[in-house]
Amino acid sequence: MVVSLAIIAILTGYFVVRFSESQEEQLLSPPSSQLRLLSQRALRQASAYREEYTMVFTQSAMALIRGRGLGGEVSEGELVESIAVPGEVAVLLRLAGDEKWVPADGDTWYFRPGGLCEPIEVRFESGEAFVELAFDPLTARAEETAYYP
């Protein structure tokens, strides 16, 4: 009887941990996968239309705009698409050459008409869980460099 109760307790503990991890994963997966798609779209449009596109990062959204988007300002005429970030998720950025992660606060990521973008790393955090994406400057494709849990 004691052995059966011990096995049940161990299995219950395992499933409780797995359930909390799946909740955090449900928060982190949508913004990271949507950012992957939006970066590809930005590079394609910059190349096709021969004009600059800018991704603006804040803690509440990531917006793709047509043009340079200086100062992180987004007007309705320039807005191409916007991705909402859940309130429980923090967005951190690390630009090329930087060692520290910096909270997103109107930071910009440029896509050039020649088909290049700036190298950047984006980190989504929720509690102890996080997803880190590193974007290639030639293809704007994201490589998942770290994931926890």
Q: CB of 133 within 8 A of CB of 144?
A: yes
Domain that residue 53 falls in: 2-148
Distances (CA, A) of 99 to 15, 19, 90, 122: 37, 33, 18, 13
Q: Which residues of the chain have pLDDT under 70?
A: 14-22, 69-77, 149
Report the pLDDT value the prediction gives residue 75, as an integer from 0 to 100. Answer: 58
CA atoms within 13 A of residue 42's CA, in its CB half-sphere: 37
Report the pLDDT value the prediction gives residue 127, as an integer from 0 to 100. Answer: 84
Residue 139 falls in which region: left (phi positive, over 0), alpha (psi -120 to 50) or beta: alpha
pTM: 0.80
Report the pLDDT value the prediction gives residue 148, as an integer from 0 to 100. Answer: 75
Please state, in angstroms and rounded to a whole number, the distance separating the CA atoms of residues 64 and 55. 4
Report the pLDDT value the prediction gives residue 104, as an integer from 0 to 100. Answer: 96
The DSSP call for residue 110 is E
Report the pLDDT value the prediction gives residue 58, as an integer from 0 to 100. Answer: 94
The DSSP string of 118-142 is --EEEEEEETTEEEEEEE-TTT--E
Report the pLDDT value the prediction gives residue 17, as an integer from 0 to 100. Answer: 59
Domain count of the chain?
1
> Could you tell me the two tokens for 57?
């990062």
Report the pLDDT value the prediction gives residue 20, as an integer from 0 to 100. Answer: 53
Domain with residue 81: its CATH number is 3.55.40.10
- Residue in 138, 129, 137, 139 with CA at minimum distance from that of residue 31: 129
